[in-house]
Structure 1
Amino acid sequence: MSDSNEITMVDKIDTTLSEMSANNEKINVSQVAKRLGISNSAIYKFYPEKISDIQTAQKRQKNKAESVTLGTENVKLNKEIESLKASTKEYQELAKDYKTQNESLWEHIQQVYNMYDEMLAERNGFAERLKHSH
């Protein structure tokens, strides 16, 4: 093959890699060869220097996909964290309300016991008076 054909095919391989990457198409030697209308072995035999470019593009594509997945996971986790923070705040408010209610109930219970003690003292006073009145 002449140098001009090799350069042309090398340029075609580079262009194909760029297009496939931009279109998020699966990148590997087989797919590049198919897109160019040549065999896999032609790339290996005549353009071995392009194998590493294809592999690099393939790795970039994989890393990009993983990055997108991780970004999506981060967004989900951040939403969950915000939801948990909101829930925690709600539960803290609820706990505060229950504490206030408990304090109020405890005051009422103490008032009832005080009333009971007063009634008991009154009853004992009546019982003493009744003893002495007969």
Structure 2
Amino acid sequence: MVNGNGIDEGFQDRLRQAESAEREMQRLEPLAAEAPQLRLQKAKVQKEEERQRAKEDSLSKARNAAQSAADKQNRVPELLGHAARAVIDLYTLIKEIDSSRRQAMEALSVADRVDYDIELEEGEEHERSL
């Protein structure tokens, strides 16, 4: 450390480096002190951006769902028309079925009456022959 001239050069270099580092630390200390606050602000901004994205996504989904509902609702009158026609067709068919059954019953009634008349005549003929 100390030579014949006083302080050796290695020591002088080391001192210059240490003093330079000290000045650099003094210069960076205020910036380093800001780091926690800057991290907090960054986290807040990121959270706000995330919330905004979530809100925009939700609003977009809501708009799409509302549009889909409106499109489907526009089909309601047409489908009601089809349903009404189907009900009318079904009612008409049921009336036709009922009418056909009545005709069948009437025809069976006539056939039964004919059978009855035949049996009656045969019974009378049999009684006359006795």
Letter matched to residue 95 of structure 2: N
Q: Kindly provide the CA deviation profile for residues 11-31 of structure 1, in whole angstroms up to 9, marking residues without a partner as x.
A: xxxxxxxxxxxxxxxxxxxxx
Question: Structure 2: which 5+ runs fail to align?
Answer: 1-19, 119-130
Q: Give the whole-Å Cα distance in 1 for the aligned partners of 2:89 and 2:33.
A: 82
| TM-score, normalised by the number of residues in structure 2 | 0.52
- CA RMSD, Structure 1 to Structure 2 (Å): 3.2
Give the drift of 1:90: 3.4
Q: Kindly provide the CA deviation profile for residues 88-108 of structure 1, in whole angstroms up to 9, marking residues without a partner as x.
A: 333444566545433432332
Give the drift of 1:112: 0.8
Q: Kindly provide the CA deviation profile for residues 43-97 of structure 1, in whole angstroms up to 9, marking residues without a partner as x.
A: 4x66655544332223222212221222122111110111122223334445665
Q: Give the whole-Å Cα distance in 1 for the aligned partners of 2:50 and 2:78.
A: 42
Aligned to 1:113: 94
Give the drift of 1:117: 0.8
Letter matched to residue 98 of structure 2: D
Q: How many residues align?
A: 95
| TM-score, normalised by the number of residues in structure 1 | 0.51
Matched position secondary structure for 2:53? helix
Which consecutive aligned stretches of 4+ in structure 1 deviate over 6 angstroms post-superposition? none
Higher RCO (CA 8 Å, separation ≥ 6 residues): 1
Q: Give the whole-Å Cα distance in 1 for the aligned partners of 2:105 and 2:28.
A: 113
Letter matched to residue 55 of structure 1: P
Bigger CA radius of gyration: 2
Aligned to 1:85: 66
Aligned to 2:34: 53
1:101 aligns with 2:82: yes
Question: Structure 1: which 5+ runs fail to align?
Answer: 1-37
Aligned to 2:44: 63
Aligned to 1:124: 105
Letter matched to residue 59 of structure 2: N
Pick one of 69, 75, 93 that aligns with 2:56.
75
